[in-house]
Amino acid sequence: MRFFLCFAVLAVFAGPAIADPLPSWQEGETKSRIIDFVTEVTDPTSETYVTPADRIAVFDNDGTLWSEQPVYFQLFFALDRLKEMAAKDPSILSSDVLKAAAAGDMETVAKAGEDGLLEIVMVSHSGLSVPEFQSDVASWLETARHPTKDLAYTDMTYQPMLELLRYLRDEGFETYLVSGGGIHFMRAFVEEAYGVPPENVIGSAGKTRYEVVDGVPTIIKDPGIAFIDDKAGKPIGIDSKIGKRPIFVGGNSDGDFEMLEWATAGEGPSLGLIVHHTDGEREWAYDRDSHVGKLVRGLDEAETRGWLLVDMAEDWKRVWSGTGN
C-alpha cells in the first residue's frame, strides 16, 4: 500500500511527459544543439536570454524548406504557364530560349544560363494582377506533380524543418522566409505549407505598377526585375523588411552565405544552420558541383564559423512531409 501511495505522489509531482518538439530528427549532436540553443535563449534565468521581441528566425526556401532538384520548382510553374500563354499567343515566344522553354527543350534552356531563366520568369509571370497570379500559382500547386518523384510539390516540404518552424514559434520566435524565389509566388502557399504568414516573406520581386482596372485599384505584374533576394541581397532584404538582425538562420547553399554570415555576426547568441543534401536514396545528394543549391564556401567554413551542418541522411528520420520516407 505504501508503495502505491508513493508512486501516486511521484506521478502527481512529475506531471505530464514533455513531448519531443523535433520527432523527425535523429537523436544526436545536431538535434541537441538546436534544442539547447532554443532553451538557452528562452530561459529568463539564462545569461543568453533573448526577449521575445528579438527572437527572429529566418529561413531560405528552395533546398531548405522544400526540395529544389532538378530545378527550382518555380521554374516548373513558369514553364507550364509559358506553354499556356504561347498556346493563346505564339508571338510571346520572341527569343530562342522562350521557344525552347515552350517546346520542353531543357538543354537549350540550361545553356542560356541565369539570363535565360530570368527571361522565362519575366515573360511567364507578367501581365496579371497580383491576386490573379497567386490564384494561378495555387491552382497549379493543386494539380502539378514533380517530373521524377511523382509527388505534389507541397508534399516535398521537409518534415523536420516544418517541425523546427513550429518549435521556434511555440517558443516565442517570429519566423520569416528569405528566399531567392519570387515573393508573389511564395505568398500563394507559404501560410498553408509552413505556417508563415504572407507578410513574413522576403523574396525576389518583379516590377509592378498601380492601375485602376474597371474601377478597381489593382497592382499589376510587369516584366522586369526590381530586386534579387539572393547572396548579399538577403541581408539587405532582411534589414529593409524586419529592421533587426536574426538570431536563428537556416539555409542550404552559398546563396545563403551572406545571410548566415551577417546574422551570426551580431552581438549575443545566434545559431546558423545549413541543410546539407547527403541523401541520394530518399532525396538527392549534391553540394559542390550542383547546378542548383551549390554549396562550397558554406561547406568549407561551417565548422570554423560555428554553423550547424545538418546531414540529411544521418540527422533526419524522414525527409518529406507528404510521404513516410
Provide the β-strand partners of residue 212: 217
pLDDT at 27: 98
pLDDT tens-digit profile of 172-209? 999 999 999 999 999 999 999 999 999 999 999 999 99
3-state SS class at 219: strand
The answer to whether the CB of 146 falls within 8 A of the CB of 153 is yes
The Cα 240–Cα 267 span in angstroms is: 19
Helices (H), 24-158: 29-42, 73-88, 96-103, 106-111, 113-124, 130-143
pLDDT at 45: 98
CA distances, 95 to each of 92, 108, 123, 223 (Å): 9, 12, 11, 15
Which domains are seen in the chain, by residue range? Answer: 21-70+145-315 (3.40.50.1000), 73-128 (no CATH)
DSSP 248: E
Alpha carbon distance, N-terminus to C-terminus of the chain: 48
DSSP 286: -
pLDDT at 6: 44
The Cα 307–Cα 168 span in angstroms is: 18
pLDDT tens-digit profile of 205-236? 999 999 999 999 999 999 999 999 999 999 99
Give the DSSP per-residue string, 4-58: HHHHHHHHHHH-SPPPPS-TTBPSSHHHHHHHHHHHHHH-TTSTT---GGG-EEE
Query: In the sheet where 271-276 sits, what is the strand order?
Result: 216-227, 201-213, 174-182, 56-59, 248-251, 271-276, 308-311
- The pTM assigned to this predicted structure is 0.93
